[in-house]
């Protein structure tokens, strides 16, 4: 029997090699042993860092911006578990079919404050999701797409009728939108792109097991379109993190300390990483076809949203589908933090590239960029923090100014992403500071032509910031900075 298992693994490895060899880009997670060759860190600016653990609290913004249709509920009555019923009617009752390959032994989630986002709203047309309780980062690598995102057909019609009807997404604002009491993410990047949704609540697992849960669709139109989850300590968080195991496609890698759950590009299974002081401490060896996938228990569906939950403690993580008893990924860990910023991500890496080829696992009639449907995001126990949003999505020229909803409080940090050497002025151009670039874990080396994440201390009382751009080593432009939010706790 042992010989047969070994033989099956060998066959899978040779099959994977044959599949990947015909592709222009090597896909590390497609039926192959996960390799983790990284180890380099980004340069860290040591000047003007300020406190990395702000302690003051800003007053939350009282009025949502134009276009906001959500009704977030933050820090409501504590509850002992993360399995309380979602809003009635939000998610269809699942109908499990085959027996899962790995079942769960569920730990008890500790009591504490709850963050709950139900994305309530029934607009007559797809409406951009904007909320004072969320930071939204939408990134596309190629400079030709910085002003306008590449178009795609996203689920829900122009009048919010459900799938399979569609409407055309053509702008950054359209990539995260509300219809029928839930939110959609729809992103198409023929180069590489990603978006992150970050709530104003950290998960707290200092006293035991904590829970991050959400309802999500399972229909996937391309293996080159996937989702992920990051949990990162406050001072290490990145505006646009990127798993260095995916190579040097874009950005500057992972946070120095973090937990990461990522959907595979070759199949519907998940990978686990736990970065500790710049090193991934989870030694994962796994294969598509050998690990649990959601296809084992359900028929993928764009209209039905199934519950996913990440159970997290200081020594163990488990990502599962509780309604099916299916554990998708788990690992023993030993991390050096007990609270973390939560980011829900959607990646697009030329999703139509493999359509019609041997590398595509998708039906030719539906292959392409995916619309993911999300609802009922819940964090238990949760620790709230404040977000103070800027009035512009992007700046590209020296002298451009971003104005914020309210004055910054003590210990605040400006969070954004950008390209080039970036300097900031909080006093109308009288004095300048070099923007603090966050340290990260790289695949091999720093790439000046890729965007970086910034986390810069803000003087108390500041209401705006002016930008100045210059070359970053050999890289002489074009430049940009985007998605500006001041965070404080």
Q: Please state the domain extents for the chain.
A: 73-385
The CATH number of domain 73-385, selected from 2.60.40.10, 2.60.120.200, 2.30.40.10, 1.10.1740.10 = 2.60.120.200
pTM of the model: 0.80
Is 320 within 8 Å of 203 (Cβ atoms)?
no
Residue with tokens 């359509």: 355
DSSP H helix total and E strand total for the chain: 1, 32
246 phi, psi to nearest 5 deg: -85, 0
What distance in Å separates the CA atoms of residue 156 and residue 184, rounded to the nearest whole number? Answer: 9
Task: Give the span between the Cα atoms of 363 and 290, in whole angstroms.
Answer: 22
For 465, the 3-state DSSP assignment is strand
**Helix, strand and coil percent figures for the chain, each rounded to 5:** 5, 35, 55
Say if residues 56 and 409 touch (Cβ distance below 8 Å). Answer: yes
Query: What are the C-alpha distances in Å from 433 to residues 140, 398, 430?
Result: 27, 14, 11
Is 423 exposed, middle or buried, given 0-12, 13-18 or 19+ CB atoms closer than 10 A?
middle
Tokens of 142: 């190629």
Q: Are 471 and 405 spatial neighbours (Cβ–Cβ below 8 Å)?
A: no
Length reported for the chain: 489
| CA separation for the pair 57, 16 (Å, rounded) | 51
With vertex at residue 27, the alpha carbon angle to CA 23 and CA 30, rounded to the nearest 5 degrees, is 105
* CA pair distance 146, 142, nearest whole angstrom: 7
Q: How many CA atoms lie within 13 A of 248 on its CB side?
A: 13
Contacts (Cβ under 8 Å, ≥6 apart) of 45: 434, 435, 436, 437
Q: Is 74 exposed, middle or buried (0-12, 13-18, 19+ CB in 10 A)?
A: middle
For residues 391 and 410, what is the distance between their CA atoms, to the nearest angstrom? 21
> What residue has token string 């986002």?
117
Per-residue pLDDT of the chain (489 residues; tens, 9 = 90+): 444 444 444 444 444 433 333 333 333 333 333 333 333 444 444 333 333 333 223 233 333 333 333 333 333 333 333 333 344 334 444 444 444 455 556 778 888 899 999 999 999 999 999 999 999 999 999 999 999 999 999 999 999 999 999 999 999 999 999 999 999 999 999 999 999 999 999 999 999 999 999 999 999 998 889 999 999 999 999 999 998 887 889 999 999 999 999 999 888 999 999 999 999 999 776 677 778 899 889 999 999 999 999 999 999 999 999 999 999 999 999 999 999 999 999 999 988 887 866 555 655 567 889 999 999 999 999 999 999 999 999 999 999 999 999 999 999 999 999 999 999 999 999 999 999 999 999 888 899 999 999 999 999 999 999 999 999 999 999 999 999 999 999
Gap between the Cα atoms of 445 and 420, Å rounded: 16
How many Å apart are CA 226 and CA 223, to the nearest integer? 7
Cis before 357 (ω within 30): no
* Distance between first and last Cα of the chain: 56
């Amino acid at each position: 029997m042992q010989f047969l298992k070994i033989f099956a693994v060998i066959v899978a490895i040779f099959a994977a090699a044959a599949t990947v060899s015909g592709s222009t880009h090597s896909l590390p997670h497609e039926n192959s042993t996960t390799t983790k060759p990284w180890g380099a860190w980004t340069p860290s600016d040591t000047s003007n860092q300020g406190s990395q653990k702000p302690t003051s609290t800003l007053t939350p913004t009282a009025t949502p911006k134009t276009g906001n249709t959500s009704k977030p509920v933050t820090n409501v009555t504590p509850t002992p578990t993360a399995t309380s019923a979602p809003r009635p009617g939000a998610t269809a009752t699942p109908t499990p079919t085959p027996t899962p390959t790995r079942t769960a032994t569920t730990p008890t989630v500790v009591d504490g404050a709850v963050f709950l986002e139900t994305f309530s709203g029934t607009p007559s047309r797809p409406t951009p999701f904007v909320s004072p309780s969320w930071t939204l980062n939408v990134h596309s690598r190629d400079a030709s797409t910085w002003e306008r995102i590449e178009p795609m057909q996203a689920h829900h019609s122009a009048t919010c009728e459900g799938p399979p009807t569609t409407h055309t997404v053509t702008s950054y604002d359209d990539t995260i939108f509300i219809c029928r009491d839930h939110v959609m993410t729809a992103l198409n990047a023929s180069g590489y792109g990603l978006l992150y949704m970050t709530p104003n609540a950290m998960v707290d697992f200092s006293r035991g097991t904590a829970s991050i849960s959400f309802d999500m669709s399972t229909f996937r139109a391309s293996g080159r379109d996937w989702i992920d989850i990051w949990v990162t300590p406050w001072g290490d968080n990145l505006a646009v993190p990127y798993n260095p195991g995916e190579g040097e496609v874009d950005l500057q890698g992972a946070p120095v300390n973090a937990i990461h759950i990522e959907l595979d590009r070759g199949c519907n299974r998940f990978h686990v990483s736990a970065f500790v002081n710049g090193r991934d401490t989870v030694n994962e060896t796994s294969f598509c076809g050998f690990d649990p996938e959601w296809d084992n228990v359900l028929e993928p569906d764009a209209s039905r949203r199934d519950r996913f939950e990440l159970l997290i403690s200081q020594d163990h993580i488990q990502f599962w589908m509780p309604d099916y008893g299916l554990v998708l990924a788990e690992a023993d860990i030993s991390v050096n933090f007990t609270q973390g910023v939560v980011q829900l991500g959607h990646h697009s890496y030329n999703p139509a590239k493999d359509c019609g080829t041997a590398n595509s696992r998708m039906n030719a009639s539906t292959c392409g960029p995916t619309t993911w449907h999300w609802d009922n995001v819940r964090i238990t126990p949760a620790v709230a923090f404040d977000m103070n949003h800027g009035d512009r999505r992007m700046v590209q020229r020296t002298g451009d100014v971003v104005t914020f909803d309210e004055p910054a409080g003590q210990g605040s940090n400006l969070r954004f992403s950008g390209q080039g050497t970036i300097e900031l002025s909080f006093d109308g151009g009288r004095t300048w500071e070099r923007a603090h670039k966050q340290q990260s874990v790289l695949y091999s080396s720093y790439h000046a032509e890729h965007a970086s994440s910034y986390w810069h201390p803000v003087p108390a009382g500041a209401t705006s910031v002016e930008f100045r751009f210059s070359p970053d080593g050999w890289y002489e432009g074009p430049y940009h900075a985007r998605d500006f939010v001041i965070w404080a706790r």
